[in-house]
Amino acid sequence: MRLIILGPPGAGKGSQATFIKEKYNIVHISTGDIFREHLRNETELGKQAQVYMNKGQLVPDELTIELVKDRLSQDDVKDGFLLDGFPRNLDQAAALTDFLKSRNEDLDAVVNLNVDKASLVDRITGRRMCKDCKASFHIKNYPPKVEGVCDHCGGELYQREDDKEETVLKRIGVYEAETAPLIDYYNQFGLVLNIDGNQPLEEVSDQIFRGLDNLK
């Protein structure tokens, strides 16, 4: 099974990707993991990406595409994969389509997690992290026993810059401008599996599994 998972920041892609990977025994491929592996192994592609990252710039599409193509050419993905964080825009999507065609392969589905903006903001801005042990909490969904204090080590809890409302709204705006158009792109191939991501975690995964099982 060859899949893509899409959804705005805070939609729960990471959690659902783990469930999908385990149920269907396919490889979960995230662009972040790809970048880190190439940097760690000091590959030529990794060195090229490092130049942009050191400047605080986005890695260009051309290089990101090459990194993903390299990962999709490895033996462990022959039985299927789940792409998370790629493609991020229409150019990347078109490049992926061309690459799969060159290998006589097709995508099976694009899992699209739909969550309303207010819920996304609430989910992300409520996150708190321990400065010492890095444990994660949420002021509503998983609050610490003592406000501002880590249950595990007693360290101070804080809100990351990425989790502050102004930053969150910018990230959602970027998603809506660049990645959301992928829904229309993949709809033309009949690949989009729309999922109500406002539901509890287990209900979301159940809906995903029902949709994917119907493809078989």
115-171 pLDDT, tens per residue?
Answer: 999 999 999 999 999 999 999 999 999 999 999 999 999 999 999 999 999 999 999
Domains of the chain, earliest start first: 2-115+171-213 (3.40.50.300)
Does residue 2 carry a catalytic annotation? no
Cα separation values, 111 from 17, 100, 170, Å: 10, 18, 23
pLDDT, position 133: 96
What average pLDDT does the segment 79-83 reach? 95
- Of the candidates 71, 88, 123, 128, the residue annotated as catalytic is 88
Does residue 128 carry a catalytic annotation? no
| Amino acid found at 42 | E
- Of the candidates 21, 71, 123, 127, the residue annotated as catalytic is 127
Alpha-carbon distance of 12 to 173, in angstroms, equals: 17
Is omega for the bond preceding 87 within 30 degrees of 0, making it cis? yes
Helices (H), 28-146: 31-41, 44-54, 61-72, 90-102, 117-125
Render the burial of 103-114: b for 16+ CB within 10 Å, e for the rest.
eeeebbbbbbbe
Please state the pTM of the whole predicted model.
Answer: 0.89
* Residue 57's pLDDT band (cuts 50, 70, 90): confident
* Residue 27's pLDDT band (cuts 50, 70, 90): very high
Does residue 210 carry a catalytic annotation? no
Q: How many CA atoms lie within 13 A of 17 on its CB side?
A: 20
- Of the candidates 131, 160, 170, 210, the residue annotated as catalytic is 160
* Residue 12's pLDDT band (cuts 50, 70, 90): very high
Output DSSP code: residue 57. Answer: P
- Of the candidates 2, 23, 69, 171, the residue annotated as catalytic is 171
